[in-house]
């Protein structure tokens, strides 16, 4: 999580490794790593000498071990349409809208569970089926019990993946 620290006054020296950072009386400090900071101007309406910490981003990541790191990563990037969010040694964290999945290179893969990608419309699910019919276990169909339209498939390592749309209104995902 990155934190936003806002103040009207220069920040106390012990917070920073470089004294040059003290010359920004109105600044936003993004804590990027324990020893690295980035500054951007940020007006504040806070009373003097009060700090406000605001999470710029919070959420979760599902990490899975994979014994086929490159093949799995390529599949989710090239065929499913995920994007790289963060690369780390032996780990790729991929993003699809609000879903983050970290694939970790490991001698033993984890294939339990289901990775579900959801879309707004049936047409989008059908388009994914047309693109992935070679790995699908069946054609898309309506599931009246769960009020979804979906199909299942498997990734190169044998993980079950699902592509679906909800057939009912959804609550909005917010930070509230």
CATH number (domain holding residue 119): 3.10.180.10
Task: Note the pLDDT tens digit of each residue in 85-126.
Answer: 999 999 999 999 989 999 999 999 999 999 999 999 999 999
**Is residue 136 included in any domain, yes or no?**
yes
Both 103 and 79 in one domain: the answer is yes
Domain count for the chain, please give it: 3
Both 31 and 75 in one domain: the answer is no
- CB of 100 closer than 8 Å to CB of 115: no
Q: Is the pLDDT of residue 134 over 60?
A: yes
The H helix count followed by the E strand count for the chain is: 2, 12
| Pairwise CA distance, residues 172 & 15, whole Å | 38
Specify the higher pLDDT residue, 120 or 18.
120
Residues spanned by the domain of 82: 64-109
Both 138 and 164 in one domain: the answer is yes
| Pairwise CA distance, residues 105 & 53, whole Å | 35
Conformation bin of residue 65: beta by default, left when phi > 0, alpha when psi is -120 to 50: beta
**Is residue 91 included in any domain, yes or no?**
yes
Both 9 and 51 in one domain: the answer is yes
Q: What share of the chain is helix, strand, coil (3-state, %, to 5)?
A: 20, 40, 45
Both 142 and 101 in one domain: the answer is no
| Pairwise CA distance, residues 139 & 150, whole Å | 8
Both 78 and 35 in one domain: the answer is no
Both 42 and 10 in one domain: the answer is yes
**Is residue 176 included in any domain, yes or no?**
no
Give 160's strand partners: 114, 154
Both 138 and 97 in one domain: the answer is no
Residue 13: both structure tokens together: 């020296």
Q: What is the average per-residue pLDDT within 71-84? A: 97
The distance in angstroms from the start CA to the end CA of the chain is: 17
* Residue that has been written with the tokens 């979906």 in this structure: 150
**Is residue 87 included in any domain, yes or no?**
yes
Both 119 and 104 in one domain: the answer is no
Specify the higher pLDDT residue, 112 or 48.
112
Mean pLDDT (the chain) is: 78
Q: What is the average per-residue pLDDT within 121-134? A: 98
| Pairwise CA distance, residues 82 & 75, whole Å | 9
Both 140 and 166 in one domain: the answer is yes
Query: Distance between alpha carbon 21 and the CA centroid of its chain, in Å?
Result: 31
């Amino acid at each position: 999580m990155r934190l936003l620290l806002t103040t009207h006054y220069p920040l106390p020296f012990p917070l920073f490794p470089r004294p040059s950072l003290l010359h920004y009386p109105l600044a936003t400090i993004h804590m990027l790593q324990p020893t690295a900071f980035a500054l951007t101007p940020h007006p504040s309406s806070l009373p003097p000498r009060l700090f406000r910490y605001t999470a710029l981003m919070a959420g979760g990541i599902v990490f899975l071990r994979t014994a086929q790191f490159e093949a799995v990563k390529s599949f989710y990037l090239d065929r499913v349409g995920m994007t790289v969010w963060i690369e780390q040694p032996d780990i790729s964290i991929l993003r699809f809208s609000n879903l983050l999945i970290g694939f970790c290179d490991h001698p033993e893969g984890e294939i339990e569970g289901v990775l579900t990608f959801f879309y707004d419309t049936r047409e989008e699910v059908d388009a994914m089926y047309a693109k992935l019919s070679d790995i699908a276990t069946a054609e898309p169909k309506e599931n009246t019990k769960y009020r979804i339209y979906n199909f299942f498939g498997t990734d190169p390592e044998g993980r079950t993946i699902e592509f679906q749309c909800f057939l009912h209104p959804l609550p909005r995902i917010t930070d509230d």
